[in-house]
């Protein structure tokens, strides 16, 4: 039914058109189980007009049939909601095709803000309809996912971190040149916001540690150590450490302790 949110907006449009204009082969089911053909709004409007003419002819009270007016209003607003749904789904479908390395999160966020305004601009009478709530959730979830996508683009992300993300979200994927934005959206990142941020934060900390360890390695790789012979035993060579090396050793030892604490 068009009041329910779904991915197939063409089916929703077809049903809205059939209900509003007819003819249609739709049926309505009553509480006692009986079914009857569903009369279109246009047919009801025509029938109401004929009845009003008869009521005037026989000088009877002319009934306004407000329910038909409400049906027409509902149809117009329902069509409006589905116009926005169609627009959002079409735009998101194009976004899904974008290769991972080509994603411009800042631009997508700006576009999504515009979509949020379109959603909020819908009439207040539709705010409790399931189709509107589904639309609202879709745009809201995208708004939550986009900052996470930006975080996941951090160069600190390694294969082990992607594996952890897959385990967290329960979806398998291969991070290669063919990976797209759609593949990331399939993980439903909005449901795992805190977990995603934690994975990226850990990756960044590990990258910092890697860089510091690399720096320490380079420092000691270039250190010159001397082993002069012992004054009393020429066959015995002793390590000779000058003050500069000792200071570097003490300083690097403290750095390693800090790295251990920050893990």
Asked if residue 10 has a cis previous peptide bond (ω within 30° of 0), the answer is: no
pTM confidence score? 0.77
Map residue 35 onto helix, strand or coil.
Answer: strand
- Position 31 scores a pLDDT of 76
DSSP for 36-69 reads: EEPPPHHHHHHHHHHHHHHHHHTT------HHHH
pLDDT, average across residues 256-261? 63
Beta carbons of 259 and 209 less than 8 angstroms apart? yes
For the purposes of burial, counting CB atoms within 10 Å of the CB of 26, is it exposed (0-12), middle (13-18) or buried (19 or more)? Answer: middle
Q: Which helix (H) or strand (E) holds 228?
A: none
Calculate the dihedral angle through the C-alpha atoms of 120, 126, 127, 128, rounding to the nearest 10 degrees: -160
pLDDT in tens, 178-196: 999 999 999 999 999 999 9
Evaluate the CA torsion angle 254, 260, 261, 263 in order and state its sign.
positive
Pick the closest to residue 140 from 164, 112, 182 (CA basis).
Answer: 112
Contacts of 21 (CB under 8 A, 6+ apart): 40, 41, 42
Evaluate the CA torsion angle 29, 30, 34, 39 in order and state its sign.
negative
pLDDT in tens, 107-160: 999 999 999 999 999 999 999 999 999 999 999 999 999 999 999 999 999 999
Percent above pLDDT 90 for the chain: 49
Contacts of 132 (CB under 8 A, 6+ apart): 81, 119, 122, 126
Asked if residue 23 has a cis previous peptide bond (ω within 30° of 0), the answer is: yes
Q: Which helix (H) or strand (E) holds 28?
A: strand 27-29
- Position 50 scores a pLDDT of 80
Q: What is the DSSP letter of 89?
A: H
Beta carbons of 129 and 81 less than 8 angstroms apart? yes
pLDDT in tens, 197-222: 999 999 998 898 888 777 767 666 66
């Amino acid at each position: 039914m068009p009041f329910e949110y779904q991915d197939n907006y063409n089916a929703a449009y077809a049903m809205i058109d059939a209900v509003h204009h007819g003819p249609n082969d739709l049926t309505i089911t009553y509480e006692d189980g009986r079914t009857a053909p569903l009369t279109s709004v246009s047919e009801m409007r025509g029938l109401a007009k004929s009845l009003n003419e008869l009521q005037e002819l026989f000088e009877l009270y002319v009934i306004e049939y407000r329910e038909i007016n409400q049906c027409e209003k509902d149809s117009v607003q329902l069509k409006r909601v589905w116009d926005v749904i169609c627009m959002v789904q079409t735009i998101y479908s194009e976004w899904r095709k974008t290769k991972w390395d080509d994603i411009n999160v800042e631009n997508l966020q700006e576009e999504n803000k515009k979509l949020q305004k379109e959603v909020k601009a819908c009439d207040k009478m539709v705010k409790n309809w399931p189709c509107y709530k589904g639309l609202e959730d879709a745009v809201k979830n995208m708004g939550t996912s986009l900052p996470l996508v930006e975080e996941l683009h951090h160069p600190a992300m390694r294969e082990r971190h992607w594996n952890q993300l897959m385990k967290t979200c329960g979806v398998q994927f291969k991070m290669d040149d063919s990976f797209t934005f759609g593949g990331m959206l399939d993980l439903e990142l909005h449901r795992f916001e805190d977990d995603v941020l934690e994975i990226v934060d850990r990756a960044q900390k590990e990258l910092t540690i890697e860089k510091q360890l690399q720096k320490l390695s380079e420092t000691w790789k270039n250190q010159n150590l001397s082993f002069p012979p012992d004054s009393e035993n020429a066959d015995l060579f002793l390590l000779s450490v000058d003050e500069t090396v000792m200071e570097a050793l003490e300083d690097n030892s403290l750095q390693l302790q800090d790295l251990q604490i920050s893990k």
